[in-house]
Amino acid sequence: MKKTISVSNKGATLDTGRRNFLKLGGLGIAMAGLALVGCSDNEFDYQYMDPANKFDLGTGDVGVLNYAYALEQLEADFYTKVVNNFYSGISDAEKTLFTDLYHHEVIHRDFFKAAISGVTTNVLPTLEFQYPNVNFSNRASVLATAKALEDTGVAAYNGAGKYITNPDYLVIAGKIVSVEARHASAIRNLINPGSADFSGDDVINATGLDVAKEPTEIVSVAGGFIKTPFTWKERGIS
Q: Where are the domains of the chain?
A: 3-234
Q: Are 222 and 71 contacting, i.e. CB atoms less than 8 angstroms apart?
A: yes
| 46, pLDDT greater than 50 | no
Single pTM value for the model: 0.77
When pLDDT is averaged across residues 152-172 and rounded to a whole number, the result is 93
Task: Tell me the pLDDT of the chain averaged across its residues.
Answer: 78
When pLDDT is averaged across residues 26-33 and rounded to a whole number, the result is 36
| 187, pLDDT greater than 90 | yes
| 99, pLDDT greater than 90 | yes
When pLDDT is averaged across residues 30-56 and rounded to a whole number, the result is 44
pLDDT bin (cut points 50, 70, 90) of residue 205 is: confident
Q: Could you say which of 2.40.128, 2.60.120, 1.20.1260, 1.10.1240 is the CATH number of the domain covering 3-234?
A: 1.20.1260
